[in-house]
Amino acid sequence: MRTVSASSSLPKQFLALALAALLLAPPSAFALLNIDGTRNQVFVFGNATFAYDSNVFAQSAAEGDYVFSASVGVELKRRAGIIAVNARAIFAYQQFTEFTDQSSWNPSFNLELNKTTGRTTGALTISAFRSSRADAAVNLRTQTWNFPIGLNVKYPINDKFYLTSNTSYLQRSFVAENTGLLDYMDIGQSIDLFYVFTSKLDLVAGYRTRIGHTDVGTTTDHSFSFGVMNGLLPKVNGSVRLAYQIRETESGETFDQFSINTGLTWNATRKLTVSNSIGRDFNTTATGITVDSITAGLRANYVFTRKFQAEGGVAYGRNRFLGVSPTRRDDFFSWDLGATYSFNEHLRVTASYNYMKNWSTLSFSDFERSGYSVDVSSRF
């Protein structure tokens, strides 16, 4: 049996005690802190999750384990002056029952500076978080530190036209346990021109470039797209974009594809909401391989009462690993169901089940995965 260092026991005990105090304390003990009215507000929150994962490494061997997760966090919202500030810090721990060497701390930190007034508006986001997950592309559990930065700007040209700019940066670094996997750096820039066609519908055309780098080489992406956004149909909002994408690699290979990307929400009734998403893009695996990835999903949420709601979804995806021999292709299908009961505005319980089947031309990557979880969360 794999083990984890005992040096982390004291921090785990501290997290467990803090979480228990948050979940069990009476509401008056953790009321929302208003420093000066609603201009400066502090929230505290936490959750505890018990789960079972039938395939913790996302591979054909299909080894399962029980997992306990807990987190506590604090959030600051400042609404003073022309720049709104949202800051959040979360300290989370994940404990495996059998594969204890996969247990890990996964903290996250996020800062958002948001300008919503004046001619030019936008937001700057700076984040840092540690992630532990099963990566189906390499059929391992990976642990990474991630440092994303984003800058979004909107500028109105006149009553009919406006421009948006999206600048992004991502640094993903694997921890020592994931030797052999490649750190990844990504820089992206997109420009979109919008035309206000009607009071509810906008037309958009845009260009995105992206540069990705690993130790095995650099890739350069170009994407040209056009589409429609906002009120597409009665009760249907979102976006539909057609795109032509090109990826050029340092080794001289070029890949191209046409794609459709959608994100639609249908407010069918006051209680039922249905959403759709379709996406296609080039991705880079933890071993530096280019993947043509396409996914399509459908989700529904039904509000039975003010306290009880349920949701579920189905998804299909395909990943083609490009420039490798023998050629690898993965197809997957997944579905999930969940229900949430809110005892009050401070405490809720969520139960869920999920299933995934991955068909691969590589036998080691042909697997099934299912799991269930019960989550208790609180926020004040």
Give the DSSP letter string of 275-321.
EEEEEEEEEE-TTS-EEEEEEEEEEEEEE-SSSEEEEEEEEEEEEEE
- In degrees to the nearest 10, what's the CA dihedral of 158, 84, 47, 307? -60
What local confidence, expressed as pLDDT, does residue 128 receive? 98
Distance, CA of 268 to chain centre: 26
Three-state SS for 6?
helix
The answer to whether 43 and 32 have CB atoms below 8 angstroms apart is: yes
What local confidence, expressed as pLDDT, does residue 35 receive? 65
Rounded Cα gap, residues 8 and 14, in angstroms: 10
What is the 8-class DSSP label of residue 200? S
pTM over 0.85: yes
Residue-range domain boundaries for the chain? 6-379
What local confidence, expressed as pLDDT, does residue 179 receive? 77
What local confidence, expressed as pLDDT, does residue 10 receive? 46
What local confidence, expressed as pLDDT, does residue 34 receive? 67
Q: How many residues does the chain have?
A: 380
Three-state SS for 20?
helix
6-379 maps to CATH 2.40.160: yes
- Regarding beta strands 236-249 and 217-233, do their DSSP bridges make them parallel or antiparallel, or are they unpaired? antiparallel
The answer to whether 242 and 254 have CB atoms below 8 angstroms apart is: no
| pLDDT averaged per 10 residues in sequence order, the chain, 380 residues | 41 55 48 66 94 96 96 92 94 96 95 94 97 93 96 96 98 86 96 96 97 95 97 93 96 94 96 97 94 97 97 98 90 98 94 98 96 95
Rounded Cα gap, residues 7 and 301, in angstroms: 43
The answer to whether 53 and 62 have CB atoms below 8 angstroms apart is: no
How many Cα atoms are found within 13 Å in the side-chain-facing hemisphere of 289? 18
